[in-house]
Chain A
Amino acid sequence: MSVLYVTQADAVLSKNYEAFNVALKQSDGSWKKQTVAAQTVEQVVLMGNPQVTGDALVYALELGMPVHYLSSFGKYLGSALPGYSRNGQLRLAQYKLYSDPVGRLELVKAIVTAKIHNQYQVLYRHNERNNPLKERKSLVKSQKTIDQVRGIEGLAAREYFACWPRMVGKQWTFTGRNRRPPTDPVNSLLSFAYGLLRVQVTAAVHVAGLDPYIGYLHEVHHGQPAIVLDLMEEFRSLIADNVVLAVLHKHEIQPDDFNESLGAYRLKDTARKTFLQAFERKMNDEFKHPVFEYRCTYRRAIELQARLLSRHLQEGIPYKALALR
């Protein structure tokens, strides 16, 4: 299964029998048409604002396929969702844990522990052995409040990104994580990757029937989708950071692949396509699941974690955040 990305603003997505048609405008004014069999697609992601026919949108929803809208910067705008889960009891369980300080702290610790673990693994793979992340990870367990856990998380994140300048390679300058807007190419890649990851986690949250806006590690405020951000934490370094490091190491993206405006950087169109392909490759990568021992793609792992979190909320089975060796 795959994700159909339409990234050209003047593209037209339509439907023909059991297939999607994507018409792309060429520089000479002609249209190039591509056909994608609907059975091979499980989600549609539209970037910029391509045209979608009513037929295509309804067909996607009928097949249980969400259609996500992103700005041309890759910022998540919203989705058209099929009527998946109508599990109201799950939402009640989700709200209940929000006001249960003990259970909530437990879950937050599981998430942050796995997050730091996965960050440490990224560093370790790139021969960054001299860092305090292991100690930070073991500190999480003994914290008494969610704020204290957040403190450890922030500390670990700074120490983690402090190792990045050595990992990104000599042709890139990176002086730490920044966003809104990202003021260097590497940060703009990270933001883009997190945006793509957020789309996938959002879809999984909806599929599982969770309420996107009630979470545990992230505060319920400013309209942020707290549970989406919570579930993203264990995957940030596993998926997004690794994709960014991979395209930099393989020189798939070059410094001249960016447009700069007033100090904010964004990818040019061709490079954006390259990056999307790299991200999709990663999503379809298989690994052996550390708990269940079956082969599992990252795409499936995201949905699995959303469903396992649902089982945790409704049935009290322990939540094991995904931590890879």
Chain B
Amino acid sequence: MTEDYLPLAYLNAWEYCPRRFYLEYVLGEMSDNEHIILGRHIHRNINEETTFQEGETLIHQQQWVWSDRLKVAGIIDAVEESNGQLVPVEYKKGKMAQHLNDHFQLCAAALCIEERTGRSLAYGEIFYHTNRRRQTVALTPQLRQMTEQAIAFAQLAAQRTMPAPIDNTKKCLSCSLKEICLPFEVKQLRSSMNPETDD
């Protein structure tokens, strides 16, 4: 039913770089490192879908969420329920920075929960593992609008041809897919082409 829905995790890739999103989502590419990390991660903490009580808070872990309106689906790390409020929580292994892409993923999950439950959510939280910080993210109308726009653009891009490499050396150098994408090599070889073969 939701197999053609855009997985929420790819919204991160989309915000990072359209080409990376295409390689991962459309072409199914993944770098070895990610294989290993993913594999180990899955083996180490088999997070099953569970619900448990912590003080006043009811925590639903690893919740499957989806939206038929936006055609997205995914798994949210946790949804915490207290004082009649639902709060989506994402765990990130990095450290806190102004990462809009993390916000989009969280907001998209919130939109899914709203659609499923008919309730409205005010904010979500991101827990950054590296510096053990919890960041509260307000689900403002602007964030919601930008998130829906990102989803629409990503879905459109998935129907088209592979995007060219981006012009962001810093991003490319720290990208785990650089050996597959070959941004510098592709740009250099492209610039050596005859302009007449431009399609």
Spell out A's residues near B (CB within 8 Å). 62-64, 82-90, 209, 291-292, 303-304, 307-308, 311, 314-318, 320
Q: Which residues of A contact B188 (CB under 8 A)?
A: 291-292
Q: Which residues of A contact B32 (CB under 8 A)?
A: 63-64, 82, 84
**Is the Cβ of A311 less than 8 Å from the Cβ of B182?**
yes
A311 and B186 in contact, given A64-B36, A317-B193 (Cβ under 8 angstroms) = yes
Show 7 residue pairs from A and B whose CB-CB distance is below 8 angstroms, ordered by the A residue.
Answer: A62-B39, A87-B27, A291-B185, A292-B185, A318-B192, A318-B193, A320-B189
A307 and B180 in contact, given A86-B28, A292-B188, A320-B189 (Cβ under 8 angstroms) = yes
Q: Which among B162, B180, B199 has the highest number of chain A CB atoms within 10 Å?
A: B180
Min CB gap B182→A, angstroms:
6
**Is the Cβ of A307 less than 8 Å from the Cβ of B29?**
no
Instruction: Kindly list the 8 A-B residue pairs having the minimum CB-CB distance in the complex, ordered from nearest.
Output: A86-B28, A64-B32, A317-B189, A87-B27, A64-B35, A317-B190, A311-B186, A318-B189
Tell me the number of A-to-B contacts counted with CB atoms below 8 Å: 58
Bound form: Cα–Cα A301–B193 in Å = 22
| B168 adjacent to chain A (CB < 8 Å) | no
**Is the Cβ of A314 less than 8 Å from the Cβ of B162?**
yes
A contacts with B: majority SS: loop
Q: Return the chain B residue nearest A83 by Cβ.
A: B35
Bound form: Cα–Cα A86–B24 in Å = 10
Counting contact residues on chain B (CB < 8 A from A), the size range is 20 to 34
| B179 adjacent to chain A (CB < 8 Å) | yes
Q: Return the chain A residue nearest B27 by Cβ.
A: A87
Q: Which residues of B contact A307 (CB under 8 A)?
A: 179-180, 182
Q: Which residues of B contact A292 (CB under 8 A)?
A: 184-185, 188
Q: Return the chain A residue nearest B164 by Cβ.
A: A315
Known: A85-B28, A318-B193. 17 other contacts (CB 8 A): A62-B39, A63-B32, A83-B35, A85-B29, A86-B27, A88-B28, A291-B189, A292-B188, A304-B182, A307-B179, A308-B185, A308-B189, A315-B162, A315-B186, A317-B186, A317-B190, A320-B189
Min CB gap B17→A, angstroms:
16
Bound form: Cα–Cα A317–B165 in Å = 12
Q: Which among B26, B28, B162, B192 has the highest number of chain A CB atoms within 10 Å?
A: B28
Q: Return the chain A residue nearest B185 by Cβ.
A: A292
| B98 adjacent to chain A (CB < 8 Å) | no
Q: List residues 169-199 of chain B with CB under 8 A from any CB of chain A.
A: 179-180, 182, 184-186, 188-190, 192-193, 197, 199
Q: Return the chain A residue nearest B184 by Cβ.
A: A292
Bound form: Cα–Cα A311–B27 in Å = 13
Bound form: Cα–Cα A207–B117 in Å = 44
Bound form: Cα–Cα A87–B24 in Å = 9
Q: Which residues of B contact A85 (CB under 8 A)?
A: 28-29, 180
Bound form: Cα–Cα A86–B29 in Å = 6
Min CB gap B195→A, angstroms:
13
**Is the Cβ of A82 less than 8 Å from the Cβ of B35?**
yes
- Find A63's partner among B28, B36, B179, B192 (CB 8 Å cutoff): B36
Min CB gap B175→A, angstroms:
14
Min CB gap A265→B, angstroms:
39
Q: Which among B27, B36, B192 has the highest number of chain A CB atoms within 10 Å?
A: B27
